Structure 1
Amino acid sequence: MHNLAPEELKVITRSVMLILDNWGLESEQIVAVLGLSSGTRKRQLDKYRSSQAFPVDANLLKRLEHIIGISDALRTTFPRNQNMASGWLNTKHRRFNDQTLEIMMKEGTPGLSKIRSELDCTYAWSEN
């Protein structure tokens, strides 16, 4: 996901913000999952939703890649009910002993990778 043209990054930014909104995340949760500065305001998130691209940052780009991968895996896991994705993210997972959303927020990029690996066996296989 590196070497993106500015317009490509804008499209990805809007897509990821839509994913996070569809998951039902609040502003503080979005900031945590994306690894943005804790001072990031709702106004800035609104700009990302409409017209502004995320900053070019290797860690943020990796997080975006994981969020898109998690979204794709959830769509495959729950093909008939997209609302199940937010439910799954907010349910305590037996393997992690915590809610998957909490893991993504607390553990950052490794947490996103852990959740993606749980949902997507091909990703998990390629990482090992």
Structure 2
Amino acid sequence: MHAESAAREQSRSALAKMVTKAFENWHLSSVEQTAMLGLAPGNRAAIHRYRKGAPLAASRDMLERAGHILAIHKSLRILFPHNRDLAYQWMRTRNRAFDNRTPAELIQQRGFEGLLMVRAYLDRARAH
């Protein structure tokens, strides 16, 4: 394997572990996790492989989703620096800004658009 492609695969593997750790911290169901990554709802095997360190797919969609997920995680840690429990519960807490749905439900229902909506909401919250 070419050194550059091996390094990229290793980066995607590290990314997979970070994303699945965020899912674990947020206590998301497997259906919510697959929705966030744009996978078929029943594809728990992929989530399990990613948790074990298999590299994320090299698709632009998957890598963009992973980037948004990690940005959401970072924003929550910044917004709630002294209360990790609150930061980790936020994805499962109903929010009026999302029509009284949880951010996880919004993403599950709206897909990539929902992911962007949640990230934008947190970006605005950080700006204030």
- For normalisation by structure 1, the TM-score amounts to 0.84
2:83 to 81, 84, 87: 81
Alpha-carbon shift at residue 123 of structure 1 (Å): 9.1
Give the length in aligned residue pairs.
Answer: 121
1:24 to 8, 23, 27: 27
Answer with 32-41 or 12-21: which moved more.
32-41
Alpha-carbon shift at residue 122 of structure 1 (Å): 9.0
Secondary structure of 2:110's partner?
helix
Is 1:117–1:123's contact at 8 Å kept on the other side of the alignment?
Answer: no
Secondary structure of 1:80's partner?
coil
- d(CA) in 1 for partners of 2:125, 2:93: 23
Opposite residue 38 of structure 1, the aligned amino acid is: P
1:33 to 32, 36, 48: 36
Q: For residues 21-49 of structure 1, give each alpha carbon's deviation from its aligned partner in whole angstroms, at most 9, with x where no partner exists.
A: 110012122111111123313x4322211
- For normalisation by structure 2, the TM-score amounts to 0.84
- d(CA) in 2 for partners of 1:26, 1:96: 19
User: What is aligned with 1:119?
Assistant: 122
User: Does the alignment pair 1:107 with 2:75?
Assistant: no
- d(CA) in 2 for partners of 1:117, 1:74: 12
Is 2:14–2:53's contact at 8 Å kept on the other side of the alignment?
Answer: no
User: Does the alignment pair 1:70 with 2:66?
Assistant: no
Q: Indicate the percent of aligned positions where both proteins have the same amino acid.
A: 30
RMSD: 2.2
Answer with 17-26 or 43-52: which moved more.
43-52
Structure 1 unaligned blocks of 5 or more: none
